[in-house]
Amino acid sequence: MLAGLGEAAAAPLIGALGHPDDTLRLGAIDALTRFGDPVVDLLTQALNDERYLVRLGAAEVLGRAGWEPRTESETVWYLIAKEQWASVAGIGPGAVEPLIRTLNDPDSAVQVGAARALGMIGGPAVARLIYELRTEQDGTQRKAVEALKMIGEPAVIPLIDALQDRDWQIRLGAARALVGIGDPAVEPLVRALRAAPPAIRMGSAATLGKIGNPAAIEPLTDALLQDDWRLGRVVVRALGMMGEPAVRPLLRVLRDGNDASRKSAVAALVLIGEPACRLLPGVLTDEHFRVRAGAADALDRLEWSPATGEEAVVYLIAKERWGDLARAGPAAVEPLLAVLDDRDDSIRRRAAKVLGEIGDPRAVPALMNLLHDDYYSVRREAAAAIVAIGAPAMEPVVAALGDPDGDVRKRAADVLAEIGDARAIASLEGIFDDEDWYARKAAENAVERIRARTGNETGDL
């Protein structure tokens, strides 16, 4: 009946194409089909109606009427209305703008189809989609991000460049898209982290953290070793997101970094949390004092407590709390012996001093070895510790009078003089003809001091 009313009925019929009732909608399609050419322009306009059912109905009527698109734009909108997404993508750049508009369609299936078509178009769609990220409407940006994710690897480099855009919305959207692309973006992001301008480097670091691919851990730790506190703050958060796989690489920063880098590494370990708390107690015995100290600092901030007495001792060594170690007594001896060969001379010197204060004879052989140390202050402290241990140290000290190193022979004589045991006299007299003048004089002086103290003319060990 409506068809008989002429062209005036066309507009209501086109509106009826969007009716949820299938019977009414199909009736409108049939009626419009009978109108023929007079309503073609109206139907062509309806191809980009905001309601997908209207678009679909208009396309159906036009198809039945044998209509052919006159322009590329009409072709694009017709194919979008028919939801023939592969065919839309085949048109190429000319389809980008209509597809981006279609991302805002209220129907989620249509949104997904448009995003997929943009993904199939690839590169030509990227720049326009990145521009679309500027919108303050989260829904619109989210759809653009989804489309960029579907484009995938071809979108990565332009998205990385967008990380330095002046518009923060574009920077945020680009980062979200890169995170969504995931692993294919990691290698380009790593390259950008190493060589790009500062803004891109920071954006790349943050994005790598959110992607969470372990391949980014080493480059991120390298970045932490650089003298750039702004980048360092971002890298700390990124490594914190990486979790347990980042713990061991961060130890390299504790070892090799400057003060700022080491503080950043500790902060990252704290962000990692429980996995770091589980692994770091084993690091308290690391051969490098900076690694031990950094691990202890991180454990402090994680509110960790030693589970055993041995853990408590190695923690005190890592914190260099020498007074507490002396009070720990014999339980501290073995861990202290382990750091007598530390690469840091101050650690060796202080450990030797504490061992002397504890006075446990188990320390004597290792302290004797320290008499060969390159640093005078360490040799002096080792000798003082042996003296403090006293009589139990006599036998290895006397044996050191035969050491090939003249300085060791001299120091052994000095130690025996301090111990003051007459049993050492005969052995000391045995080096009165020592080729080393200092060793000879030390032996003579030692014998003189021992005799003066004990009144003994002779002695034998």
Number of helices and strands in the chain (H, E): 30, 0
Spatial separation of the C-alpha atoms in residues 100 and 130, rounded to whole Å: 11
Confirm whether 410 is domain-assigned.
yes
Lowest-confidence segment of 2-11, 290-299, 313-322 by average pLDDT: 2-11
What pLDDT score does 3 carry?
46
Confirm whether 231 is domain-assigned.
yes
Confirm whether 96 is domain-assigned.
no
Amino acid at 248: R
Confirm whether 375 is domain-assigned.
no
What pLDDT score does 67 carry?
74
Give 82-121 pLDDT, tens digit per residue. Answer: 888 999 999 999 999 999 888 888 888 888 888 889 888 8
Which CATH number does the domain housing residue 444 bear?
1.25.10.10
Spatial separation of the C-alpha atoms in residues 379 and 387, rounded to whole Å: 12
User: Which secondary structure element, helix H or strand E, spans residue 238, and what is its range?
Assistant: helix 229-242
Confirm whether 439 is domain-assigned.
yes
What pLDDT score does 354 carry?
97
If you search the block for the tokens 């303050």, which residue do you land on? 136
Domain end (from 259, 288, 305): 305
Confirm whether 433 is domain-assigned.
yes
Spatial separation of the C-alpha atoms in residues 99 and 327, rounded to whole Å: 76
Tokens representing 111 are 């949104």
Contacts of 332-337 with CB under 8 Å at 24 or more apart are 332/358, 333/358, 333/360, 333/362, 333/363, 334/362, 335/285, 335/310, 336/363, 337/362, 337/363, 337/366
Q: What is the DSSP string of 75-135?
A: HHHHHHHTT-HHHHHHHGGGGHHHHHHHTT-S-HHHHHHHHHHHHHH-HHHHHHHHHHTT-
The answer to whether residues 67 and 82 touch, using CB atoms and an 8 Å cutoff, is no
Spatial separation of the C-alpha atoms in residues 271 and 275, rounded to whole Å: 10
Task: Please list the helix, strand and coil fractions of the chain in percent, rounded to the nearest 5, in that order.
Answer: 80, 0, 20
Spatial separation of the C-alpha atoms in residues 162 and 458, rounded to whole Å: 89
Distances (CA, A) of 345 to 53, 382, 458, 461: 81, 12, 39, 33
Spatial separation of the C-alpha atoms in residues 3 and 39, rounded to whole Å: 11
Confirm whether 437 is domain-assigned.
yes
**What is the DSSP-derived secondary structure letter of residue 404?**
S
Please check the confidence at residue 180 and state whether its pLDDT lies above 90. Answer: yes
Which CATH number does the domain housing residue 221 bear?
1.25.10
Domain end (from 251, 278, 305): 305
Please check the confidence at residue 459 and state whether its pLDDT lies above 60. Answer: no
If you search the block for the tokens 């382990």, which residue do you land on? 338
Confirm whether 119 is domain-assigned.
no
The answer to whether residues 406 and 436 touch, using CB atoms and an 8 Å cutoff, is yes
Lowest-confidence segment of 17-21, 123-127, 184-188, 218-222 by average pLDDT: 17-21
Four-point Cα dihedral 177, 183, 184, 186, nearest 10: 90
Domain end (from 305, 325, 344): 305
The answer to whether residues 162 and 171 touch, using CB atoms and an 8 Å cutoff, is yes
The count of structural domains within the chain is 2
Count the Cβ atoms, other than its own, within 10 Å of residue 93: 11
Tokens representing 397 are 């000290």
Can you say whether the dihedral through the CA atoms of 147, 97, 102, 117 is positive or negative? negative
Give 221-247 pLDDT, tens digit per residue. Answer: 999 998 888 999 999 999 999 999 999
What pLDDT score does 19 carry?
54
* Containing structural domain, residue 289: 216-305
Please check the confidence at residue 250 and state whether its pLDDT lies above 60. Answer: yes
Give 65-82 pLDDT, tens digit per residue. Answer: 677 888 898 888 888 888
The answer to whether residues 250 and 221 touch, using CB atoms and an 8 Å cutoff, is yes
**What is the DSSP-derived secondary structure letter of residue 456?**
-
The answer to whether residues 57 and 18 touch, using CB atoms and an 8 Å cutoff, is yes
Give 319-349 pLDDT, tens digit per residue. Answer: 999 999 999 999 999 999 999 999 999 999 9
Tokens representing 3 are 């068809």
Residue 382 CA to chain centroid, in angstroms? 42
Distances (CA, A) of 20 to 53, 308, 355: 9, 72, 89
